[in-house]
Amino acid sequence: MKHATEDELIMAYYQEAPDDIEEHLNSCTACQEELEALRQLLDRVRREDAVVRSEAEVDAAYGNRVWQRIESRLETRPTSGRVSRPNPSVRRFGWLAATLALVLGAYWLGRQDVAPVEIRVEERVQPRPTEGPEAGLVERSEADAILRVALVKHLEGSGLLVREVHNASAAGATDRLPKRAERLLATNRLLRLAARRQDPALDDTLQELERWLTDVAHLDGTSAAFAAVRSRMERRTLLLEINLHLKQLGGALPAKPTVRSPEGEAHVQSV
Amino acid sequence: MDLDLERARRGDRVGFQRLVERHSRDVFGVAFRLTRNAEDADDVVQEAFIKAWKKLPEFEDRASFGSWLYRIATNCAYDLLRRRQRRVSRESSYDAAEGWVEQIAEEQDISPEGRLAVHRDFHRELESALDGLTGAERAAFVLRHLEERPLAEIGELLGLKTNAAKQVVFRAVRKVRTQLQPLMEASR
Ligand SMILES: [Zn+2]
């Protein structure tokens, strides 16, 4: 019989050779020597690799570092795992949302300038009784719509603030920014009540936003406080997260402002 | 069923965070074997978990999370190897099987005898041999020889039938052997 080919020897090494090859190997010294040489080489590769692997061993805290790096890159995922209708993250809020949306609608009407968004909220909220047995009872789909508007409006406002902080200087940041942060903070707390159980991803962003807004509200003109605010929003890529949620809710931040340079080239401001 | 897994599947980030913390080191292990450097392995680990998060709703109970994740990670690593391979074959005209050994030898005008002296180190020669393999060959070799995975699984990763995957393993072993054999003989 012919000697074993190289591939047959490789099969024999992995103990996958057909019986007739095995039989030949048992009786042929030349092939046994070949197989032994192959075995020495491949075994040495294994030993060498084990050394390399052990040198590259990561410590016990590695998993935590991985998490720190990917946390902000995870896309928002509906908590149920099934997407059957648009805006799933809002649809789940249900009756809790209905009540909250009324509160929020009223909150905005009282506190902020009336923009087109608020007028829509007003139209939805006003026909409903605010006192008596039916108070707080709105249809679920309507509540969802209101909460969606509330979230979009809030995330847009927050996103714009993130952008402004990015483009501001430590000294300039104390002008109006802390006041705006304070207003957004109040809304943020209400929205978190709605998001907490139903949409962990959104709640996660709102929670981080709350910390950031608190920092901005306390800006005191020192460069240290300003640097802390900047580093917090950059570490978590806050704007990116806000944008992701906005996209899911069907909203978007206004286009970035563009400035004309003397050369006539349009420059998009960073962030 | 694993509580963290159950929570993560429902979209809970805290549950997923625990899974990341529990499985990262294992994933790093296989990623490192395939990519042969810590930086790339780290990228693969991150990418694998981001993919896993996205695909978790499709995860079925009968599979173990560890082996499901393992497959995602080997897929990510294989993608990276293929991207690398495309880049290398575009950038260099030298024979990929010879790898950087040939290139350095040429640049520094080292004789064939001298090459052995320069690359006497088995470890470096092995890395060079693995570098010279195509992405599919390297994945097949590492998974078969170092991770001891079944051929069917390797075939699945490479998008090949089991028998075709076996041929890729053969080819890879032959190439590695061709490059390392002179060292084995020299050290005898
Ligand atoms: Zn023989």
B145 CB within 8 Å of a chain A CB? yes
From the list A7, A49, A79, the residue facing B11 with the nearest CB is: A79
| Listed residue (A174, A157, A172, A168) closest to A269, CA to CA | A168
User: Are residues B182 and B99 located together in one domain of the fold?
Assistant: yes
Instruction: Please name the member of B11, B23, B25 whose beta carbon is closest to the beta carbon of A200.
Output: B11
Q: Are residues B20 and B102 in the same domain?
A: no
CA-based nearest distance A262→chain B, Å: 39
Q: Which residues of A touch B10 (CB under 8 A)?
A: 79-81
Q: Cβ B173–A10 below 8 Å, yes or no?
A: yes
Pick from A60-69, A195-204, B88-97: least confident: B88-97
Query: Distance (Å) from the C-alpha of residue A224 to the closest C-alpha of chain B?
Result: 31
One domain for residues B100 and B182: yes
Residue B23 has pLDDT above 80, yes or no: yes
pLDDT given at position B84: 80
The rounded Å distance from CA A24 to ligand 1 centre is 6
Contact A51 B57 (CB under 8 A): no
Interface of A with B (CB under 8 A): 6-7, 10, 14, 37-38, 40-42, 44-46, 48-49, 51-53, 56, 58, 60, 62-64, 66-67, 69-71, 73-75, 77-82, 199-201, 204
Q: Which helix (H) or strand (E) holds A268?
A: strand A266-268
Do B77 and B122 lie in one domain? The reply is no
Burial B107-139 (b: 16+ CB within 10 A, else e): eeebeeeebbeebeebeebbbbbbbbbbbbbbb
DSSP secondary structure, A110-167, as one string: HHS---HHHHHHHHHHTTS-SSSTTTT---HHHHHHHHHHHHHHHHHHHHHHHHHHHH
3-state secondary structure of B19: helix
Amino acid at A74: L
The first and second tokens of residue A59, run together, are 């410590």
* Overall residue count recorded for chain B in this entry: 188
Q: Which of B83, B107, B123 is the last residue of a domain?
A: B83
Distance A7 CA to ligand 1 centre (A): 13
Please state, in angstroms and rounded to a whole number, the distance separating the CA atoms of residues A12 and A22.
7
Of the candidates A144, A143, A142, A184, the one whose C-alpha atom is nearest the C-alpha of residue A162 is A184
Q: Evaluate whether residue B135 is within a structural domain.
A: yes
Say whether A44 and B122 touch across the interface (CB within 8 A).
yes
Interface residue of B21, B37, B42, B44 to substitute, partner A, most A CBs within 10 Å: B21
pLDDT, residue A95, reads: 39
Which of A84-93, A155-164, B143-152 is predicted with the least confidence, judged by mean pLDDT? Answer: A84-93
Q: What is the pLDDT of residue B162?
A: 95
What residue numbers bound the domain in which B23 lies? 3-83
> Under an 8 A CB cutoff, do A77 and B16 touch?
no
pLDDT at B20 over 70: yes
Ranking A10-19, A74-83, A211-220 by mean pLDDT, the lowest is A74-83
Which DSSP helix (H) or strand (E) runs through A181? helix A177-198
Alpha carbons A251 and A105: distance in angstroms, whole number: 18
pLDDT for res A84 = 35
Comparing A148 with A239, the larger pLDDT belongs to: A239
> What is the CA(A31)–ligand 1 centre distance, in A?
4
Whether residues A81 and B56 touch (CB distance < 8 A) is answered with: yes
Say if residue B69 is in the same domain as residue B114: no
pLDDT for the residue numbered B1: 65
Q: Which one of B83, B116, B139 terminates a domain?
A: B83
Is the Cβ of B40 closer than 8 Å to some Cβ of chain A? Answer: no
Report residue B150's pLDDT band, with 50, 70 and 90 as the boundaries. very high
User: What would the pLDDT profile of A76-86 be if each residue is shown by its tens digit?
Assistant: 876 654 433 33
CA of A25 to the centre of ligand 1 (A): 6
Taking an 8 Å cut-off on Cβ atoms, the answer to whether B123 and A74 are in contact is no
**8 Å CB contact between B140 and B165:** yes
pLDDT, greater one: B21 or A251: B21
Do B174 and B124 lie in one domain? The reply is yes
- On whether any CB of chain A is under 8 Å from the CB of B147, the answer is no
**B77, B111: one domain:** no
Does residue B52 fall inside a structural domain? yes
Same domain, B72 and B101: no
Counting one residue from chain A and one from chain B, the pairs whose CB atoms sit within 8 A come to: 111
- Residue B170 sits at the chain A interface (C-beta within 8 Å): yes
Whether the ipTM is more than 0.85: the answer is no
| Chain B residues lying within 8 Å of A69, measured CB to CB | 46
How far, CA to CA in Å, does A42 sit from each of A3, A131, B61, B65, B107?
A: 21, 82, 37, 31, 30
pLDDT band (50, 70, 90) for residue A235: confident
pLDDT beyond 90 at B22 = yes
Contact at 8 Å (CB) between A21 and A5?
A: no
Which residue among B83, B108, B135 closes a domain? B83
Residue-wise pLDDT tens digits, A130-169: 444 444 444 444 555 666 777 888 888 888 888 888 888 7
Among A24, A114, A95, A79, CA closest to A248: A79
* Residue ranges with CB less than 5 Å from ion ligand 1: A 3, 28, 30-31
Task: Count CB-CB contacts under 10 A for residue A210.
Answer: 16
Contact call for B170 and A10, based on CB within 8 A: yes
Residues B104 and B76 in one domain: no
Compute the distance between CA of residue A75 and CA of residue B11 in angstroms, rounded to an integer. 10
Chain B partners of A10 at a C-beta cutoff of 8 Å? 169-170, 173-174
Measured between beta carbons, which residues in chain B are less than 8 angstroms from residue A198? none
Domain ranges of chain A: 6-51, 94-126+134-268
C-alpha A161/C-alpha A167 separation (Å) is: 10
Amino acid at B92: S
Identify the CATH number of the domain in which residue B159 sits: 1.10.10.10
- Structural domains in chain B (count): 2
Higher pLDDT residue, A10 or A197? Answer: A10
Percent of chain B with pLDDT over 90: 65
